[in-house]
Structure formats: C-alpha cells, structure tokens
Amino acid sequence: MFPTRIEIIPSTGIVDKVQALVPLTTTLTMTCLPHHGIERTMRTSVELSTLGYTVIPHLAARSIHDQAELTRIMRECDGAGIGEVFVVGGDRKQPAGPYGSALPLLEDIAQYTGGRMRAGVAGYPEGHPTVAALDLLDALQDKQHLATHVVTQMCFDAPKSSPTRRSCAAKA
C-alpha cells in the first residue's frame, strides 16, 4: 500500500507555506497545470526536494516542448534526488511538442534513465470526461510495462483554504 501523499499546486509562496505546515516526512506531489507550465512544477519540486521533502513532480506530456526539455527535466530530477515522477497526458488542448499522450513520454523517460526513474500513471477508475472507457483501459494496458504504479483516485478532503490536496495511489 502506498502512503497518502499531499498534492501541491506550485503557486507563489507555496514553498514557505509547505515548510510552515507540512512535516518533512510527508511525500509531496507537484501538479503541472497548463497555465503554470512544467517550468514552475520543476522549479518548485527541486526547491522542496532540496529542503528535504520527497517530491514527485507531475509531468504532463502535452506541456513538454521537446526531448531536450525532457532531458533537462530528468537531469534536474537526478540532481535534486527526485527518483519518481507522475506521468499524465495533461490538460493542454494542443501539445506543446511531440508528446500527445503519456505513453511516448514514459518510453523516453525509461530510455533516458535506463529504467531507474519510477513512474506512476493515472488509472481513472471513475472515467475521464474526454476519453472513452475502453480507450482508457487500452492506454493503461499499453503503459503497464513502463509504470511502477497507478494513481487510482484523488481524495479532495482538505479545507478549501488549504493549498494542498491528497492523492491516493495503488500498486500496479
């Protein structure tokens, strides 16, 4: 069983808020929203990891511009001691580069890291608003050889004023 993780939105001042409110023993996942971009996700992830937190950045495939940017991201993860990422297609309408879905991004991550980077993927047990149920199942099966676990649900039980959300993961 995976421990509960707190999902952080990389907003202005969040590092100070996390330091003040969240124990170092808490695993943090760092979301990648289309309007924030991958740069903010990585900058905040690296900063919190350097402070001693275990951080799992979300890598939204449609937000990554090219393989050079992915290489930079993997180097940043390696330098900050980040050994796990959460890979999703992302919510951008149009891909910023060659990655239109999570699968090719997972393949490049595995190739670049020699399989050393742990990678979680989304399971969508309640479905997805823009993807048919059978397509979700096919995509999950296609990714199973590259994923170390599946995140199956989000538990939005934090107070509205809180800058965090909890995510729950299940082993693949």
Q: What is the pLDDT of residues 103-136, one digit of tens each?
A: 999 999 999 999 899 999 998 888 888 888 899 8
- H or E element in which residue 40 lies: helix 37-50
For 41, phi then psi, to 5°, come to -60, -50
The whole model's pTM is what?
Answer: 0.86
Q: How many folded domains does the chain comprise?
A: 1
CATH number, residue 160: 3.20.20.220
* Separation CA 83–CA 40 (nearest Å): 18
Length in residues, the chain = 172
* Separation CA 11–CA 29 (nearest Å): 13
For 165, phi then psi, to 5°, come to -135, 150
Which residues form the domain of 159? 5-171
> Angle at Cα 38 formed by Cα 128 and Cα 153, nearest 5°?
30
Q: Percent of the chain beyond pLDDT 90? A: 70
